[in-house]
Structure 1
């Protein structure tokens, strides 16, 4: 798991892109690693949702795209959008933004953030109890 607090990184992303509401770094199995703009309960809920969406998209990729790499998932809601993308080995980045957000700019900023600090964003797999 990430040993340093990366909330400042997420905060920078939220501040740089207008209409971005919150950002969350999570392990691929749904554990919160860092967040900005979310209370603990909301962060935990979003982590579970983002992990589930990513898992479903990977399954679709395996079945219909001959691969399981998921670049980005975009979910449009009535007043906001949720973006989920890979952020490093075993890690995901989830970002909530208003519908007014500039989607290409937000996608670019997410990609640049992940690219610049990918080595810090990984999450080691957890072992089962008794191993």
Structure 2
């Protein structure tokens, strides 16, 4: 079983390895933050998790309304950078923020590889274990 700290490590490693990626988070279907890279303050990570959850829900609703297959990924170009959103499992998602000079193809490819690594830890049963670990670690602080 993957621990929450191991997921944080994988996301922090991702930010360090992939050029121009500033932040990456893993989000549960209910919008709760599962993990984030270590340079992202917790309040910002929680805000991004809410954004990721809302975006995922909006895209899923659009796909249903258009009678299309579920959305797998979304790329949003913003003034100054990109926001990548990719579905993982059971409504969970990964959201990454990257600068304008990133290689979009490389970031997308690396995110797909990251999902292969962390996907099993984002299933509903695994998320419950991670939440219990997070609650326990907060109680011991």
Specify the TM-score bucket, using the shorter chain as the normaliser. 0.7 to 0.9
Higher strand share: 1
Aligned to 1:81: 82
Aligned to 1:50: 52
Deviation of residue 28 (structure 1)? Answer: 1.6
Structure 2: distance between partners of 1:40 and 1:116: 23
Deviation of residue 3 (structure 1)? Answer: 4.6
What CA RMSD, in Å, does the superposition of the two structures yield over aligned residues? 1.8
Unpaired stretches in structure 1, ≥5 consecutive residues: 127-131
| Equivalenced residues, count | 124
Structure 1 residue matching 2:88: 3-state secondary structure: strand
Structure 1: distance between partners of 2:68 and 2:95: 25
Aligned to 2:65: 63
Deviation of residue 102 (structure 1)? Answer: 0.4
1:102-117 → structure 2 map (5 Å cutoff): 102-117=103-118
Q: Is the 8 A contact 1:81 1:98 kept in 2?
A: yes
Q: Is the 8 A contact 2:75 2:82 kept in 1?
A: yes
Structure 2 residue matching 1:15: 3-state secondary structure: helix
Deviations along 1:35-71, one digit per CA (max 9) or x if unpaired, are 013101100110001100110100111111433x221
Unpaired stretches in structure 2, ≥5 consecutive residues: 129-141
Deviation of residue 27 (structure 1)? Answer: 0.5
